[in-house]
């Protein structure tokens, strides 16, 4: 009954943050924001609870207005969705026909391949060690592609894309730039949407704004035909009232989230130095809220850490990544300390 592609599909391996939290582990596996929401966000959620008998605004005007102010783009440049994952899927639905070629530099976020496969697209993986994309090379290897997925900062390597404009000027298809972690790097390509019609940027409230549990994402593009298409195909009312109110309240309290971000970035640098002290471990430079750690000799370290009460993401075996690697979310100070103590117990 079901389509062949769905029968053979390897489903996305979601982080098990909820399960680990229940077990009482220190959870550093899903790149979540470890800090609580601003009190105004909680207040907005509580207020909205009494109105859940009503449907949301079908156009999400209030949410788009708040995003438009945040990024200094027009409301007509924004399409929304139920998390960045939903928006990425909508882009694929809007753009891809059967056997269209999709270029995916790897190692990167595994959902891109799944979403493209679901459109019966043809996948063109191009491997760059630790996602050091060479613009001339990717331009060459993506000729004829309808779409290219880029991620900056990239999950799981943590680095940002250089020479984006070079790629945008020379690639004939659509560049989908995933900026899920952009606020942690202080770098964004949003300004480029007015110059490049073939750019759509996908963003989320799950990371910097710490609303992973509420599911709010959006796309920003200067290509109004694409934005209109994305708005047309998203399911009606896909973002609930509570999520909308929370997202708007978060944007109204940007200072708080900037302070948290600065704290996370500071902790990231401190944590990287601590991890580097272990001879077995190498930390890749990161501009996100997580670190990619190479384990120099096969150790099965993620499993051992779990036994010691700390959950990290084992990205060993991820396409485009050679050897054992862990992706570790930067947590609160005490969580990072628990990780270092666990590493000491295992490795010293």
Ligand X SMILES: Cc1ncc(COP(=O)(O)O)c(C=O)c1O
Task: Report the length, in residues, of the chain.
Answer: 348
Residue 212 binds to ligand X (criterion: CB under 6 A) = yes
Task: Give the interface segment with ligand X, choosing from 63-71, 80-88, 121-129, 163-171 (CB under 6 A).
Answer: 80-88
- Among 225, 239, 194, 237, which Cα is nearest to 94's? 225
**Cβ at position 81, least distance to ligand X in Å:** 8
**Cβ at position 180, least distance to ligand X in Å:** 4
Tell me which DSSP letter residue 191 carries. G
Task: Give the interface segment with ligand X, choosing from 204-212, 234-242, 252-260, 268-276 (CB under 6 A).
Answer: 204-212
**Cβ at position 275, least distance to ligand X in Å:** 21
Closest residue to ligand X in the complex (CB) = 83
| Residue among 239 and 343 whose Cβ is closer to ligand X | 239
Q: DSSP string covering 38-50, please? A: PHHHHHHHHHHHT
Q: DSSP string covering 271-284, please? A: HHHHHHTSTTEEE-
Binding residue (CB under 6 A) for ligand X from 210, 217, 320, 331: 217
**Cβ at position 114, least distance to ligand X in Å:** 12
Residue 286 binds to ligand X (criterion: CB under 6 A) = no
| Residue among 145 and 206 whose Cβ is closer to ligand X | 206
Binding residue (CB under 6 A) for ligand X from 17, 33, 85, 221: 85
Q: Other C-beta atoms within 10 Å of 222: how many? A: 21
- What is each CA distance from 155 to 66, 83, 245, in whole angstroms? 27, 16, 28
Residue 204 binds to ligand X (criterion: CB under 6 A) = yes
| Residue among 179 and 278 whose Cβ is closer to ligand X | 179
| Residue among 83 and 222 whose Cβ is closer to ligand X | 83
| Residue among 94 and 177 whose Cβ is closer to ligand X | 177
Positions in 174-203 near ligand X (CB under 6 A): 178, 180
Q: Give the end-to-end CA distance of the chain in Å, rounded to a whole number.
A: 54
Tell me which DSSP letter residue 293 carries. E
Residue 83 binds to ligand X (criterion: CB under 6 A) = yes
Contact yes or no for 216/82 (Cβ under 8 A): yes
| Residue among 233 and 280 whose Cβ is closer to ligand X | 233
| Residue among 212 and 328 whose Cβ is closer to ligand X | 212
Binding residue (CB under 6 A) for ligand X from 155, 185, 289, 336: 155
Identify the sign of the CA torsion 282, 284, 285, 290.
negative
216 SS3 class: coil
**Cβ at position 325, least distance to ligand X in Å:** 15
**Interface pattern 100-139 for ligand X (x via CB under 6 A):** ---------x------------------------------
- Among 197, 189, 199, which Cα is nearest to 160's? 189
Question: Which token pair is 103?
Answer: 């270029």
Question: Which token pair is 1?
Answer: 């009954």
**Cβ at position 32, least distance to ligand X in Å:** 9
- Among 340, 208, 214, which Cα is nearest to 274's? 340
Question: Which token pair is 64?
Answer: 């788009």
- Among 83, 82, 80, which Cα is nearest to 63's? 80
| Residue among 326 and 343 whose Cβ is closer to ligand X | 326
Binding residue (CB under 6 A) for ligand X from 206, 223, 241, 286: 206
| Residue among 155 and 223 whose Cβ is closer to ligand X | 155
Contact yes or no for 327/109 (Cβ under 8 A): no
User: How far is residue 218's CA from residue 135's CA, in Å, rounded to a whole number?
Assistant: 26
Residues near ligand X, by CB under 6 A: 31, 83-85, 109, 151, 155, 178, 180, 204, 206, 212, 217
């Amino acid at each position: 009954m079901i389509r062949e592609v769905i029968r053979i599909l390897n489903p996305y391996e979601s982080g098990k943050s909820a399960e680990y939290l229940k077990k009482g582990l220190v959870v550093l596996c899903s790149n979540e924001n470890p800090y609580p929401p601003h009190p105004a966000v909680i207040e907005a959620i509580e207020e909205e609870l009494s109105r859940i008998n009503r449907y949301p605004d079908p156009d999400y005007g209030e949410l788009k207005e708040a995003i438009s102010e945040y990024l200094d783009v027009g409301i007509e440049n924004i399409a929304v969705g139920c998390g960045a994952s939903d928006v990425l899927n909508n882009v694929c639905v809007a753009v891809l026909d059967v056997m269209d070629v999709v270029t995916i530099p790897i190692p990167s976020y595994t959902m891109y391949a799944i979403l493209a496969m679901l459109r019966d697209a043809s996948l063109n993986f191009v491997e760059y060690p630790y996602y050091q994309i060479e613009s001339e090379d990717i331009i060459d290897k993506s000729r004829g592609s309808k779409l290219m997925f880029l991620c900056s900062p990239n999950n799981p390597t943590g680095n940002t894309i250089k020479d984006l404009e070079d790629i945008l000027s020379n690639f004939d298809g659509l560049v989908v730039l995933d900026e899920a972690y952009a606020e942690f790097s202080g770098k964004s390509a949003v300004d480029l949407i007015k110059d490049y019609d073939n750019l759509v940027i996908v963003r989320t409230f799950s990371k910097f704004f710490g609303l992973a549990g509420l599911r709010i994402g959006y796309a920003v593009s200067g290509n109004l035909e694409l934005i209109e298409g994305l708005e047309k195909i998203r399911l009606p009312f896909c973002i609930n009232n509570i999520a909308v109110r929370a997202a708007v309240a978060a944007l109204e309290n940007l200072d708080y989230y900037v302070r948290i971000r600065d704290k996370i970035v500071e902790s990231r640098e401190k944590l990287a130095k601590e991890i580097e002290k272990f001879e077995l471990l190498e930390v890749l430079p990161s501009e996100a809220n997580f670190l990619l750690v190479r384990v120099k000799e096969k150790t099965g370290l993620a499993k051992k850490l779990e036994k010691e009460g700390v959950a990290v993401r084992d990205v060993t075996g991820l396409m485009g990544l050679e050897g054992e690697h862990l992706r570790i979310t930067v947590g609160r100070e005490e969580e990072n300390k628990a990780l270092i103590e666990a590493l000491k117990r295992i490795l010293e």
